[in-house]
Amino acid sequence: MAKQGGLQQHVLQFEGLLTMLQYRKPYEITSRYIGKSKEVLDWGCGNGHFSYFRTQNGISATGFSFEPSPIFLRDSPLFEYAVGSPDDPVALPFSIERFDDVFSMGVLEHVYQTGGDEIGSLKEIHRVLHPNGRFFCFHFPNKYQWIEPVAKLLGGLEYFHERKYSIKQIRSLLDESGFTLLDWGRYNFLPRNQLRKLPASIKDNPLIVSVFQGLDQSLSFLLPMLCTNFYFVAEKK
């Protein structure tokens, strides 16, 4: 599907199955909660790969970012797009209680880089959600993950998160911004994005991918505190 839709040439993480499957947990959680009639915001949609996942399953999505609309979604009748203003990085150009659900895919931990802060963004998301609306956060960096500290020692990682979080910090952020935590967990024990540089014969090999996925799931179950990412689902109080 990704090749046919032209997604791979625009999304580095989709260059191979090993890196693409880092989103398996977000897709599973999303499918567990979301129906097809929802009004949903993909907050900070970036290259649009999460909105693409929704539209390819016949579900509409509204994207929001500071960048131009994702190229491969511009002609989709199921996708709407709104551009934010760098002059007010926290504000969302939507009416109060517009959305049933809001999604963040690796965004919340970066809002400080555009002049915002986590609490300010969460309160704005709270404003545009319906009563009892939900906020889904994925790829939220775990404070106690093992990959980035080891990679720093070895000099083998291109990017490091300056901010990482514990579940205690997540609970505090949500409580201060008017949310109740419904569900949370950790996922992706093994490195992912670095594997996109591997030859296609490895990163797309069904047997290798299957073994890698099985190992990742086992280690995530046995040592969840060392996984790379948090996910959490919160409800507007």
Residue 104 in this model has a pLDDT that exceeds 90: yes
pLDDT at site 3: 41
**How confident is the model over 119-153, as pLDDT tens digits?**
999 999 999 999 999 999 999 999 999 999 998 88
Residue 12 in this model has a pLDDT that exceeds 60: yes
The answer to whether position 71 is within a domain reads yes
The answer to whether position 212 is within a domain reads no
What mean pLDDT is predicted for residues 165-194?
96
The answer to whether position 152 is within a domain reads no
pLDDT at site 2: 40
Tell me the CATH number at 104: 3.40.50.150
**How confident is the model over 55-101, as pLDDT tens digits?**
888 888 999 999 888 888 888 999 999 999 888 989 999 999 999 99
Supply the pTM of this predicted model.
0.91
The answer to whether position 10 is within a domain reads no
What DSSP line would sit under 82-118, residue for residue? EE--TTSTT--SS-TT-EEEEEEES-GGGGGGGT--H
Q: Which domain holds residue 138?
A: 25-146+160-190+226-236
Give how many domains the chain has, as a whole number. Answer: 1
The answer to whether position 218 is within a domain reads no
